[in-house]
Each structure stands twice: as structure tokens, then as C-alpha cells.
Chain A
Amino acid sequence: EIVLTQSPATLSLSPGERATLSCRASKSISNYLAWYQQKPGQAPRLLIYDASNRAAGIPARFSGSGFGTDFTLTISSLEPEDFAVYYCQQRANWPFGGGTKVEI
């Protein structure tokens, strides 16, 4: 089974700053990676699929990159509504990463 490790567990930043979140796979998963955002009390939302494609309606400040085992989600300039937990996942039937909480 492929394990996804997210780092850091918590990222403390201010609005306007750049956020860089990492997801590392235990073996190569090509570009089969998605990023989800979850705010407290809400369902997750798909942000990025196939490592670098933004889902419908996702602002351009969110970008994804990577291939093989190392992936990155970048938020270019944090808005107040971006403070949330972010999960990566290889594909739907596979385990999620442990999550990164982006806090103020």
C-alpha cells in the first residue's frame, strides 16, 4: 500500500503570505494526486487533480505541482478563507495523507 506523508502538520502564516504544503508518496504514483480543502464543520472540496489541474471554480492562487513521489500545493497569497486543513490523496480508493492545517 502506498503511504502519503504530508508536511508540515501545521503551518502558521498570516494573510497575504505564501503557503507551501508538501505531500510525499512512499513510491511513485505518476501524477495521480489530488488536493482537498476542508474547513471546520464542512465537507472537503476538491482543489487540484492530476497533481496540477485546478478543479472548477478554484481560484488561481491555488496551484499544484510534482510528479512521482514529491508533490506541492502552493497558495500564492493567503486569503482569510484559505485557513483550513488540506489533504492529499492518490486516487479515490486510496488512503488520504494525514493533512496539513494552515492556521493564522
Chain B
Amino acid sequence: QVRLVESGGGVVQPGRSLRLSCVASGFTFRSHGMHWVRQAPGKGLEWVASLWYDGSDDSYADSVKGRFTISRDNSKNTVFLQMNSLRVEDTAVYYCARDVTPYPPNYFDHWGQGSLVTVSS
């Protein structure tokens, strides 16, 4: 079965960096686009970033553009989110999600369990 497992969350000070990882299993990872979606405490869902199946094209929400970078290692079935210059408002649970096709954007058909990032001094 499809499984997505995030890691790398934690507490970090404003202005610092953090890298999230998401390990995929149960499907052909290199055949799907991947995304990161976040949810601030008690709030709704916000799409953060997406990446094509081969890593050749990426997209970002305006709120993170220039600070966050999505990447993938298809040899390790892993997608990453490098988060720099973190702000208090980046505090959220970060989910990785699989796109139904190799070429985002489409729909998220599988989600990880989430990784909590808390930005606080």
C-alpha cells in the first residue's frame, strides 16, 4: 500500500533553517509528482510547493517563494522541503502528498501523517 512518512520537524528560532524529508513506499515514486501542504494550528490547508516526477519543474506558494525549496531523490524515494529564513507564521503541520500524475498540478491522492514545525524564539 502507498505510504508517505515525513520527518525532520521540530522547534526552530525565527530566521533559522530546517529540512523536512518524506520517504515514499508502495508505489513507483519516480512516476508521480509530489507536493508539500501545510496547516497552521486550528486553520485550513495551504498548498506550499510541488515538483514534477523528474525534478525538472517546481512551483511555490507566494508565501514561501524564495525561502523554501522542494527537491527529490528518486533513487531513495524521498522528497525534501528545505525551509530557510523561517518565520513565526510558518508554524504548521507539514504534509507531503502525492500527485495523481507525474506532472502537477492535479490532485493529492495520498498524504503522509504530517510533521510539526514550530517557529518560535
Contacts and interface: CB of A to CB of B under 8 A. Distances in A.
Contacts of B90: none
A91 interface: yes
A43 B107 contact: no
A46 B113 contact: no
How many chain B residues sit at the interface, stated as a range, is 20 to 34
11 contacts: A36-B108, A46-B108, A46-B109, A87-B44, A91-B105, A92-B35, A92-B50, A96-B44, A96-B45, A96-B46, A99-B45
Interface string A64-104: 00000000000000000000000101011111111100000
Given A43-B114, A93-B59, A98 B109 contact: no
B77 to A, nearest CB: 19
Interface string B86-121: 000000000101011000111111011110000000
A32 B72 CA distance: 27
A93 B50 contact: yes
B109 A92 contact: no
A44 interface: yes
Nearest to B60: A93
A97 B108 CA distance: 15
A35 to B, nearest CB: 10
Q: Is the interface of B mostly helix, strand, loop or mixed?
A: strand
A93 B109 contact: no
Contacts of B106: 49, 91-92
A25 interface: no
Contacts of A97: 44
Contact of B111 (A45, A49, A96): A45
A23 interface: no
A92 B108 contact: yes
A2 interface: no
B72 to A, nearest CB: 16
Contacts of B35: 92
Contacts of A46: 107-109
